Structures are given as C-alpha cells and as structure tokens.
Structure 1
Amino acid sequence: MKIKGLNLDIIWKNKKGNFQLIEEQLKNEEADIFLLPEMFSTGFCMDASEVSDRNEESLEFLKKISKEKNTACCGSAPVEENGKYYNRMYFVKPDAETVFYDKRHLFSFSGEDKMYTPGKDRVIVEYKGIRFLLQVCYDLRFPVFARNNNDYDAVLYIANWPEKRVGAWEHLLKARAIENLSFVFGLNRIGTDGNDLFYQESSHCFFADGKEITEKKGNIISAVLNLDELKDFRNHFQFLNDRDVFSIQL
C-alpha cells in the first residue's frame, strides 16, 4: 500500500483557497491513501465559532478528492455539532464511507481545550487489509492512548507541530513505531500560520524497528507499507506478548 502525504502550507482561515491549493498539488499524484495535515482547511485556529464547518464543507471536499482519484483521503477539520466544536479527523473511502475520530488530547498550551470538546473514542479503521489507528498532533505525547493491543498495524498522525518543538515530534514518532511494532506515518504542515508560528518540513514514516521508510519529492511525502514485512517482523520479535495488561478510562 502506498500512502502520500501533502506537506501543505495552509492558508490561514481560507477554506476555498486551501481546497484549490490541495487540488493543484495532488493533480498528478496517485496513491492508495492521501493524507492531509491537521485542520487542513483553516490552519490550527482557536476561533472555533468562526472557522468550524457547519455544513461539512471539509468532509465534502475529501469525498470529492476520494471519488475523483479512487483513493482514500484523510485529514482533520474544525467542526461544529450540536453547539460543540471538535477537531475531527476524517478517513474517507472511495465509496464515500467515512470514519471519523475526534481529537482526544486537546492542546491546553494553546487554549484548544477551552474552545473544542475532546473526543471519547479510540478509533481504528481498516482499509485494503491494513488496520489504521487515527491520531491527531498532541495525541503523540500520550503513549498509553496509542498502545497497540494487537488491534492495528499502522498509526496515522496528522499535525500542526511548530519548529520550536519539532525535535519532540520526530523522536516520539519513531518511539511510537518501535514500542508498538507498527508503521507510523506522521504528517506535519509547513510554512507560517496566522499566529506567526513557523513549521519546518518534518513529515516522516517509520517501520516497526524505527527505520525511516519515507520518500520525499517536492511537497509530497510517500511511503510503501508492506504488511507481509510487518507480519514477519512481529513474528520474529514478539515483544507485544510481554506488554503490561491494563485498560484506560476515556
């Protein structure tokens, strides 16, 4: 399976502009899954009442791309639902079937927890035989929530993770791959946002042994996930059998 992520310089609070930019940059690309950054249609914005989708604009855009390219599309957007706001990660399949995950760990340092409502569910979606755990940005700092209970093969992290703390982002992505014996694909945005925060190119995909398997061309980052290779690695190094048994309260 081939995944391609777009290192997107998100236009601040401009959904139409971002939709057009994404279409232009993916125009000649093909993949099994296209991955877009956290809040790809607006940037990581705390003005929830202003920027949140009320008519599923971002979801409809993902469905459009998915149908046109006959591929899955994944990214997050601010969403209003029943008077509450969520940072919602969508996974859209070519037939328009949609699974979503609401970001669990809200970034209190930026005030995200004051504007958005945390999700309650840990979400895994299967596509073309590979099981994906869906995660958003700050979730990366909480390994218990992402603990592999033999229920997934890969983790998709989408983010707006600034250059000032990018070392933590890169180290933790690799750690999540190693400790969970899984593929980890982390897609970050690039450029400067409306809060004058700079985001350097820092998207990566790691194999279960911590080896990077990323290919980069322009603003496209790609990786091939070989499930047979992962199964062989897990059969040889059965570290997950020795994991602690516990449950978490969501």
Structure 2
Amino acid sequence: MQEELKITMIQSDLVWENPNANRMIFSEKIASISEATDLIVLPEMFTTGFTMNAKALAEDETGASVSWMISEAKKHHTAITGSLIISENGCYYNRLFFVFPDGNYTTYNKRHTFTLAGEHKTFARGNDQVIVMYKGWKICPLICYDLRFPVWARNTMNYDVLLYVANWPEKRIAAWDALLKARAIENMAYCIGLNRTGEDGNGHPYVGHSAVYDLLGEQVSTKDFEHEFIETISLQKNEIETNRRHLQFLNDKDDFTLS
C-alpha cells in the first residue's frame, strides 16, 4: 500500500469536436509535468467537449483516443483518467477510462445523463458503480452531473477518493463548488473535481474551479483556479485513517438499497 498518492489535475480549454487537436494539446501538457505523479486527471469528453454529436465523433475501445491514453500512461509511467464518447453494441456512452501505467484499464459509464442538454436522448446511462483499486487506494470515479446525486456517491464501499471529471458551465459554478465540498465532508473522503475552461461550440463558457477537498471540506489545491493550470496534489492515507478513527461519522450513516 502506498501512503501518499500524487494526483495531477490538468484544467484546460478544449477544441470543439476535434479529437486529434485535443490529444496533441494534452500530450504537450502531460509532457510538461516535471514532478513524479501517480494519476493524471483530464476533463469529461476531453477529446471533443460536451457535444451531442455522438454519431460523428464516437469511437470504440480500440480507437485512437483510448490507444492514446494507453500510450501516454505507459510512456509516463502513470495512470490517466478522463471520459470519451464511446460506441458499443449500437449505443453511445459517456465513458470514463481509468488507464493504469501498464496499459490495462477500468471503465465507468456516466449514470446521470444531463437531461437539460438532452444527453439522455443520445447517450445510454450506466448502471454500475465502480471502485478502482490503485496502489492500495480505493477510488470512486464519477462524471459531471453525477455530482448532484449524493445517494449514487454515498460511501458504502469504504473508498478513499471520490473523483469527478466534468464540463460544468460557469452559470452554475457555485453549485459545483458547494457540492464538491459537501461530497468530501459527507463521505469522509478526498473529493477531486476536474473541470474545463474556455467556451464550447454551443457558446457556453467554463471557468474551471477544479479543486481537491479533504475529509473536513478544506480545499487543499490552488485557490487561483479560473484559468488553465496544471497542479499536482499529494493525498495522504494517514489523514483518512486518523480522521475516520477519531470522528467515526461513517458508522452512523443510513442503510439503503439502490434500485
């Protein structure tokens, strides 16, 4: 088990519906990371922006973008995560890939499709919660709109890190800030939220606010977070264990069954 886990957030603008350009941009940004890291976090739909043009842009798991993630993970000896538009069995999915340094990967399909933008009309929703085991840490990966639904994220699986990748617009950024902090506190886990910047092809502006919160809701990442940045944050396993042992709030959680 690794006591310290180093997470690198890449908050970036995205080129609208241009996977090749975005892969090139992120290759350069990843290459610029000077310190050792265990996990690089990219935004939701990091190759395209949050588009419903799935028919034209979807790839399968043997496509260029997943192959790129595998290549980058192997090249830099680190895990990489972010979501892509994936076509499978006649359906489209907003699918997160957690690619390990050896090129193997785990996936999570977005559970809560964003009805306000019509995502539910294009993308099938996922039904399975996923826990990624990595270097002795248990990571629960989720995607954007999932943040609004605390039951789906409830820490019944004793995870250490709750991780969201997103395209969360500026007009509702106060909710993003508040909910990330709340998820950390209520689940007694680190909570990471990685958002994008810039403006998408629909004219929606994004101001980032990517952040990491600790178990008590304290922001442990940068405070100046409305522009593009790359930042590496160290998570400490003993902080989780010490606070949970002392406070024991998770012992009093309600029992429930997801349907």
Taking structure 2 as the reference length, the TM-score comes to 0.94
The aligned residue for residue 14 of structure 2 is 10
- Equivalent residue letter for 1:35: V
Matched, 1:146 2:150: no
In the alignment, does 2:48 pair up with 1:24? no
Give 1:96 shift.
1.1
Structure 2 counterpart of 1:245, which letter? D
1:198 equivalent to 2:211? Answer no
Distance, in Å, in 2 between the alignment partners of 1:244 and 1:56 is: 42
Which residue does 1:230 correspond to in 2?
A: 240
TM superposition shift of 1:222: 2.7
1:61 Cα deviation from its structure 2 partner: 1.0
Tell me what 1:220 maps to.
230
Q: Does 1:242 align with 2:249?
A: no
CA shift digits 1:86-125 (9 cap, x unpaired): 0000000011111000000000000000000000100010
**Corresponding residue for residue 57 of structure 1:** 64
Which of 29, 40, 44 is the aligned partner of 1:38? Answer: 44
Question: Residue 6 of structure 1: CA displacement?
Answer: 0.7
Correspondence 1:115 to 2:115: no
User: What 5-or-longer segments of structure 1 have no aligned partner?
Assistant: none
Q: Distance in 2 between matches of 1:190 and 1:63?
A: 25
Once the two structures are TM-superposed, the CA of residue 48 in structure 1 deviates from its matched residue by 0.9
Runs of 4+ in 1 over 6 A off after TM superposition: none
Aligned sequence identity (%): 43
2:9 alignment partner AA: G
Q: TM-score, length-normalised on structure 1?
A: 0.97
Match of 1:209 in 2: 216
Which whole-Å CA distance do the structure 2 matches of 1:57 and 1:76 have between them?
A: 14
**Aligned 8 A contact 1:203 1:221 in 2:** no
1:229: how far off?
A: 1.2
Partners of 1:144 and 1:222 lie apart in 2 by 29
Report the Cα distance in structure 2 between the residues aligned to 1:247 and 1:71, rounded to whole angstroms: 35
- Matching residue within 178, 181, 202 for 1:174: 181
> Secondary structure of the equivalent of 1:41?
coil
Q: CA RMSD in A?
A: 1.2
